[in-house]
Structure 1
């Protein structure tokens, strides 16, 4: 994160020499790259270094993107033990041991740390004084203590969950054939993915996404799809919606725009049932269907990609996404507390259009679960004595637009 911050400062100081405008810098990130942008919204030293942020399928309070100091310390000590450090010594001695350990040991042992579902070994720490100053990032997000002058474009994909289910629950989701689950198997998947949550939370999730009235009577792709939506909502989508609401409901100066991407790719080698997974909007935003002539993209896909490139570029330049000569349905509505509209993105005639916001019931349930998590964090933090912690943020697809 500090490396990114230094790069942003350099851009701010030097971009004029390259024909750019330091007042029109746009950060563009997907997944952990999107989470990084939110971190820069909070970090005091990043204030004023960018005007717009494009956040594709990610936010800083995604469960996988940031650790509490306590959890980061636990993982750091696990790593110390795995590379052969003597845990009976002081923390400073363990840190010294970790610094001296051969990098090969780290790469060999990194994924032997005990992790929950969709958790990574080393991520940003919420109370990193070197980056967030004296702020705790979890508390800052809840209280709205962040840069409010940045325009943000936030994105959600239809099938955010399947990608992670394929790797984490392969016995049900690792086949070419569309998954067919019974209700019992549906519950088994919930228990596995949300093992760190209480039974009350798991019961609530099971019933919100498929109550008893939804009983299929036999194995069905319905339950697999509900697990897909559940994983996507908890680990990605709801946090993006909450960040959007934080800006919109409080009338922050920054404008908010939300898209819902629902276009499968003809170039995707995965089974069709995987749909529009996490990160699968990237090829369209970068215009791949426009220049890749061997992947058999359809005319609808090329048209959608052309318009997405225009939306993204326009937002980077002006803080508002627009395309040339739009139809009425293709005008992207600003997301406000009085007009909670998203832009639906799919190839085909009249498929780009404003839609009502979604996921309200699901995200209310997950917000209640997060409230419990946050209270436990606050209680633990009041008893915690900070130490130097490992910090290695995961950054995927983090880029900078420089527009004049």
Structure 2
């Protein structure tokens, strides 16, 4: 041992002994040849009005699971973190990943582990994958503080992770120069870390649930498809997103390569050789890359997302819908759902100046028609015409100035979120997987956006404040009514029950936790996340029948005159015959079920 090594060794020993002597923070020894000692921090959580708890939580924060993806490791799959040494101070969160709205640190591949104290044994584990359009966010954001969840269920360990975002996480050249999906490979490596290390924290690696919202939920759905994720989790929870959402995967690799070329052009890295192009981008300052990405995002106000997962033949072998049709997915118990007014997020994107307004925008029928080329995925003129027929409120259409915003909101709720969730639920149920579905129908008294905008209703992301108990002694300190706090406790109980047992009703439902029926065909029952927690049947199936059964026939067709009459007849038959028959059969079924 040379003098430098001896000095380093001595310092580590002194720090370790001092930490023991002062009793500062909980300590855990990681498995492996280095036997690294992690020292975390204690978090006290007491709440006497609703939960009646006074507990201590052990938080091990900022644990690196991969080498910093900088320099030559930028635009490459993650490299497993090497030896942490004898001692690692895990008492604070490290940087979130570099992103367009702030945060420029590429050294960001960290995770946090939270467990009750004293630690449980063989506990269930929840791994949280944050949302943010694959562009924003961080696992350690206060929005996702796990303390109320652990207070509800002390035998639960919560892991939150960071993964690379935007241009740094998903840039692709369509070939081996930069395959893309680096952020998804980050997630896989983090899940592998959990398998290898969570037992030291009291967790059971065989009882891992992956859970996410929006892009995090789409990530969960992609892990259901990925062969690289086999055996890394037991249950799945998807909130307002899944692998079949039209924004979750860009199946048009040419479009993603186009974004790469445009970034390269703007930072003077243009070349016909992709290897040279990527090497130039590796040597471009991260701030320049992020600012250039922000300019591209600012020019793209429609539904198209920049830098998202692609079919790479490794993490994602094929187009998700084709894999779903072949049942090439992990058949695990799954809880998934959406919110009733998801489309208000898209309305906000269409009218961004209303971000600071209490009242919603208005949209005339002409503005609705003009929006369709920009807001319809797989746009064709015939699909646009069919969408207009289905969603426009024709009782108002004679008034050219009448507000058709609700049609726009319903269209985007169905197209962007709800109906792909229906397809995913049906595929899982058809494979004999256990499925539970929900729709949040409650309009929050205070939005996650604050007082303004005040028109989002049960919009995108609003369930997060109830899943993570924002109104119950959370650092978010979200104002909620008494009834909403009781609802939040019910939501947390459902979620933690499912994480532990694959069933939101286990332990058995009580008067305080109404029964949540399993989603099956033909019953199609689901839970309405609301103050009353009622159940419903056939969520949005009138519109989802349109998107599942009729719209796909129009995706790949042009609109010459010789096709128009045939299309018109097909549409009218679907509307006036097929849907009428479906509603009659379903109403008969409902009546039979409700018969004494």
State the TM-score bracket (shorter-chain normalisation): 0.7 to 0.9
Q: Give the TM-score, by structure 1 length.
A: 0.82
- Deviation per residue, 1:348-398 (Å, 9 max, x gap): xxx21110122223223333445665899xxxxxxxxxxxxxxxxxxxxxx
> Counterparts of 1:229-308 in structure 2 under 5 Å?
229-248=410-429, 250=430, 252-268=431-447, 269-291=451-473, 295-308=478-491
Offset of 1:47 from its aligned partner?
A: 1.0
- CA–CA separation in structure 2 for the residues paired with 1:173 and 1:289: 23
Determine whether 1:60 maps to 2:239.
Answer: no
Give how far 1:81 is off: 1.3
Q: Which moved more, 1:180-189 or 1:26-35?
A: 180-189
What secondary structure, in the 3-state scheme, does the structure 2 residue paired with 1:254 have? Answer: coil
1:220: Cα distance to partner?
4.3
Once the two structures are superposed, residues 251-289 of structure 1 have per-residue CA deviations (whole angstroms, 9 ceiling, x without a partner) of: x24210011102222332134432111001001011112
Aligned to 1:352: 533
* Aligned residues of 1:27 and 1:50 also touching (Cα < 8 A): yes
Aligned-pair CA distance for 1:13: 2.5
Q: Secondary structure at the match of 1:201?
A: helix
Higher RCO, 1 vs 2 (CA within 8 Å, ≥6 residues apart) = 1
* TM-aligned CA deviation for residue 130 of structure 1: 3.5
Give distance in 2, aligned partners of 1:316 and 1:265.
25
Task: Classify the secondary structure of the residue corresponding to 1:247.
Answer: helix
Q: Which of 140, 148, 151 is residue 323 of structure 2 equivalent to?
A: 140
Superposed CA RMSD: 2.7
Query: Which has the greater radius of gyration?
Result: 2
Q: 2:338 aligns to what?
A: 156
Gaps in structure 2 of 5+ consecutive residues = 1-183, 559-596
Match of 2:310?
A: 125
Closer, same or farther in 2 for the Cα pair 1:100/1:239, shift >3 Å? same
Which of the numbers 80, 83, 90 marks the counterpart of 2:273? 90
Deviation string 1:193-251 (CA, Å, 9 cap, x unpaired) is: 23861111111111111263553636445x21121111121111111111001112x2x
- The CA distance in 1 between the partners of 2:186 and 2:530, in whole Å, is 36
Work out the CA distance in 1 between the residues paired with 2:284 and 2:244. Answer: 31
> Measured at CA, do residues 328 and 177 of structure 1 come closer, stay the same or move farther in structure 2, by a change above 3 Å?
closer
Equivalent residues of 2:336, 2:421 under 8 A apart? yes
Report SS of the residue matched to 1:321: coil
2:218 paired with 1:13: no
**Secondary structure in structure 2 of the residue aligned to 1:92:** helix
In the alignment, structure 1 segments of 5+ residues that lack a partner are: 377-404
CA distance 1:173–1:179, shift in 2 (3 Å): farther
Q: For residues 111 and 61 of structure 1, what CA distance do their matches in structure 2 show?
A: 26
Residue aligned with 1:8, SS: helix
Structure 1 residue 340 corresponds to structure 2 residue 524: yes
Structure 1 372/85 Cα, relative in aligned 2: closer, same or farther at 3 Å? farther
CA distance in 2, matches of 1:325, 1:358: 23
CA contact (8 A) 2:351 2:361 kept: no
Residue number in structure 1 paired with 2:257? 73
Given that 2:380 and 2:555 are in contact with CA atoms closer than 8 Å, whether structure 1 keeps it comes out as: no
CA contact (8 A) 1:25 1:49 kept: yes
Return the match for 2:544 from 333, 350, 363.
Answer: 363
Deviation at 1:177, TM superposition (A): 2.3
- Alpha-carbon contact 2:206-2:234 (below 8 Å) kept: yes
The 3 A distance-change label for structure 1 pair 330 and 120 is: same
Alpha carbons 2:358, 2:453 under 8 Å: kept: yes
Give the direction of change, closer, same or farther, for the CA distance of 1:346–1:2 in structure 2 (3 Å limit). same
Q: Return the alpha-carbon distance in structure 1 between the equivalents of residues 362 and 270 of structure 2.
A: 48
8 Å Cα contact 1:173/1:179 also seen in 2? no
Answer with 331-340 or 292-301: which moved more. 292-301
Cα distance in 2 between the residues matched to 1:373 and 1:205: 12
Distance 1:37 1:46, change over 3 A: same
Alpha-carbon separation, structure 2, partners of 1:300 and 1:236: 27
Q: How many residues align?
A: 366
Q: Per the alignment, do residues 254 and 101 of structure 1 end up closer, same or farther by CA in structure 2, a change over 3 Å counting?
A: same
- 1:41 aligned to 214, 224, 229, which one? 224
Instruction: Work out whether residues 354 and 453 of structure 2, in 8 Å CA contact, stay in contact via their aligned partners in 1.
Output: no
Out of 166, 173, 177, the position equivalent to 2:359 is: 177
CA 1:196/1:45 → structure 2, altered by over 3 Å: closer, same or farther? Answer: closer
Q: 1:76 to 1:354 in 2, by over 3 A?
A: same
User: In structure 1, what is the equivalent of residue 88 of structure 2?
Assistant: none
Deviation of 1:324 (Å) = 6.0
Shift of 1:115: 4.1
